[in-house]
Amino acid sequence: MDEHGTSAEAGHGEMLAVRYTGGEGDAGIRAAREARPAVGPGEVLVRVAAAGLNRADLMQRAGVYPPPSGASEIPGLEVSGTVVEVGPAAGLPGEGRFAVGDEVCALLAGGGYAEYVAVPAGQLMAVPDGVDLVDAAALPEVACTVWSTMSERGGVRAGDVVLVHGGSGGIGSFAVQYLAAIGGRVLSTAGGPQKCERVRALGAEDVFDHRAAEPGAFAEWVLERTGGRGADVILDVVGGPYLDANVRCLAEEGRIVVIAAQGGVKAEGFNLMRLVAKRGWLTGATLRSRPVVEKARIVAGTERAVSPLVAAGRIDLSVAARFPLAEAAAAQEWFDHAARAGKVLLVTDPADADHAPGEPGDGAAEARA
């Protein structure tokens, strides 16, 4: 390390990175050598150990969720790794906290599917005690999303009934554990008996199998489980098709937080006065496009509130599979498999991988999740 806090490996050099080409199928994604990113003021350079896959990565590949202006075109919204270079000060939050050699995980606007990534210092958090560096890549995006939507935006308090849609997914499985850990009464939806059992094991009081019922039937189930009162907060990833049913099972003064619209953006035939009559709140939230200072605030709040729960073993990162970085296309295909539950990671060291392309969705890695 030199007098500026830069390691010997920092500076000029190449890295393996994954980019989208716009082609169909596997031709639409490629891994190739390219220059490492330069480190700007207020940033640090991280040698990536692993990157987490998220639904947003697939949306970007499909051309419907481009990165914010100025962000890397390389996909990937969260990584774990080691600091190898610290850029000059810029008066931004988080500067000076981490030094070369520190193990960290980071929230990104893009750039994670690579061996190196430049990150604003305020978007780094320490790897929680007892968490493997590779698996720590499963933490930043999901933890920041859950904390900012449930504790900040949703205002969840101990004793609240919270309905989590998609409780077996990356966001859902984390949300169920976090909400249970802070004293919430968690109900959830999931698809199929195996996923429902898994979500119960994560801490949900009960789980509704949406594959075994008519669309929206969860509303009556929630009302039955709550004695007609409904859910205080609903975390929704489905979007328009669930809006009417969400409002039906919302408690008075309840809050619906929409973070994705996997089922579509339109709610046909929805009567807005049902929400008004309950004095309910309908809100949405995203992380990727927020300003750097705002992201730093969320990362700091998440680290204070969530990392101790992870370190204490009250939240498991639920890693389902680890693919080599060069096999990003196969990893995304597996991510979209109906049987997948938990987080999927891309690892820069193939020795850290535990899943080979072509394995079925119910493989050994998922059984460990």
User: What tens digit of pLDDT does each residue of 6-23 get?
Assistant: 554 644 599 999 999 987
pLDDT in the model for residue 302: 98
Cα separation, 20 vs 62, whole angstroms: 9
Give the angle subtended at the CA of 40 by the CAs of 38 and 46, to the nearest 5°: 60
Confidence grade of residue 239 (pLDDT, cut at 50, 70, 90) = very high
Instruction: For residues 131-135, give the mean pLDDT.
Output: 97
Tens-digit pLDDT profile for residues 296-335: 999 999 999 999 999 999 999 989 899 999 999 999 999 9
pLDDT in the model for residue 25: 73
Q: Domains, the chain, ranges and CATH?
A: 14-138+289-368 (3.90.180.10), 143-284 (3.40.50.720)
Q: Let me know: does 19 contact 74? Beta carbons within 8 Å.
A: yes
| Three-state SS at 125 | strand
pLDDT in the model for residue 3: 45
pLDDT in the model for residue 12: 59
> Where are any strands of DSSP class E within the chain?
14-20, 29-35, 43-52, 78-86, 103-107, 116-120, 124-126, 161-164, 185-190, 206-209, 231-236, 250-258, 281-284, 319-324, 343-347
Tens-digit pLDDT profile for residues 259-288: 999 899 999 889 999 999 999 999 998 899
Tell whether the model's pLDDT for residue 365 goes beyond 90. Answer: no
Tens-digit pLDDT profile for residues 160-198: 999 999 999 889 999 999 999 999 999 999 999 999 999
Tens-digit pLDDT profile for residues 26-79: 779 999 999 999 999 999 999 999 999 999 999 999 999 999 999 999 999 999
Residue closest to 30 by CA, chosen among 87, 75, 96: 75
| Three-state SS at 51 | strand
Instruction: For residues 150-168, give the mean pLDDT.
Output: 97
